[in-house]
Structure 1
Amino acid sequence: MHRSGAGSEAGTAADQEFLALERELSVLLRRARAQSGEMAREVHPELEPAAYGLLVRLDATGSQRATDLAAYFGVGKATMSRQLRALEDLGLVARAPDPDDGRASLVRLTDEGRARFRHVRDARRARYRRKLAGWDRAEVAELARLLHQLNAGGEETS
């Protein structure tokens, strides 16, 4: 229920931390989307920006089922299937039978996909190092920890 007047102003004053968080996350997410698009094009000119995150995940996990990837990213199976098909068509990922369940398959990066992804990832990491050169390593670690905590909380509520 939305209330106007002094009551809502008091609520707004009490929520300044959350308003500041919303503002900063909005900027971060907008920039991240733009950077994902740039990085995706660096991996392959035809790669969709949203697919870059799949490459990040597959590089970290080695291989996963499409259903697990869909759950991790909070998207439907059809969306995940379409994105993986596009990655397969570009030669960046491949599917293999899941040894634990013959009806399922595991998705993994191809050698070419891994090489292209890591080249772009390493260049991005160098940009982060330059941008955060004035930060203490403990601050960088704390930011990573807090972002992980935020992301993990998002997985629980999805």
Structure 2
Amino acid sequence: MTIAADHETYDAVEHELGVLLRRARALTVGMMQEVHHGLDPAAYGLLLGLYDRAPARPSDIAAYFGVGKATISRQLKALEDLGLVERRADPCDGRAHLLALTSEGRRRMDAVRVARRERFYALLDTWPEGDVRTLATMLARFNRLAEENGTRSRPAGDGENLAPSSGL
């Protein structure tokens, strides 16, 4: 491959990833509104994290997102007020608590997951099954490589960045 062709290929990858991320963000905004109208992206990100990892200590969720406990506490308060998240006593440590989705929070997140899955089915329905498998394999490979090279899906720090990078 020539240097010029090399640049064109990498430019095409960069462009297509940018298009994918913009579309994913738009989809994420719609999904957030399905959970609760006006839901903050950071709160939605916390819900996604809890959906897959709950029950979990606030410090574990903060570490997963690369943010401080103060950020988690602010978002947690908003989600508790909406009845989507609750604190439970930690059975292993009476001084600590665990975060978990309420039954209503789980119901709403289940509905979002079903809607997202149906959207992917509709988008990829015309593709041969082997192509869909190849896409999944290549995306997993890309994500592993990004993780190995220290590229996080969510920037570290103590900002309000719990928002999902793609919502996918």
Q: TM-score higher than 0.5 here?
A: yes
More deviation, 93-102/22-31: 93-102
Question: Which structure has the bigger radius of gyration?
Answer: 1
Out of 75, 93, 96, the residue aligned to residue 83 of structure 1 is: 75
Q: Secondary structure at the match of 1:63?
A: coil
Q: Secondary structure at the match of 2:135?
A: helix
CA distance 1:15–1:55, change in 2 (3 Å): same
Residue 147 (structure 1) aligns with: 139
TM-score, structure 2 length as denominator? 0.73
Q: Secondary structure at the match of 2:97?
A: strand
Out of 17, 37, 62, the residue aligned to residue 25 of structure 1 is: 17
The alignment yields a C-alpha RMSD, in angstroms, of 2.5
The one-letter code of the counterpart of 1:82 is R
Out of 111, 120, 131, the residue aligned to residue 123 of structure 2 is: 131
8 Å contact 1:33–1:49 — kept in the other structure?
no
Question: Is residue 108 of structure 2 the alignment partner of residue 116 of structure 1?
Answer: yes
Out of 80, 102, 105, the residue aligned to residue 97 of structure 2 is: 105
Point out where structure 1 has 5 or more consecutive residues left out of the alignment: 1-9
8 Å contact 1:37–1:48 — kept in the other structure?
no
Structure possessing the higher relative contact order (Cα contacts under 8 Å, 6 or more residues apart): 2
Rounded to whole Å, the distance in 2 between the matches of 1:12 and 1:79 is: 45
Point out where structure 2 has 5 or more consecutive residues left out of the alignment: 153-168
Rounded to whole Å, the distance in 1 between the matches of 2:22 and 2:109 is: 22
Q: Which has the higher helix share?
A: 1
How many matched pairs?
149
TM-score, structure 1 length as denominator? 0.76
Rounded to whole Å, the distance in 2 between the matches of 1:22 and 1:124 is: 24
Residue 40 (structure 2) aligns with: 48
Shift of 1:152: 4.0
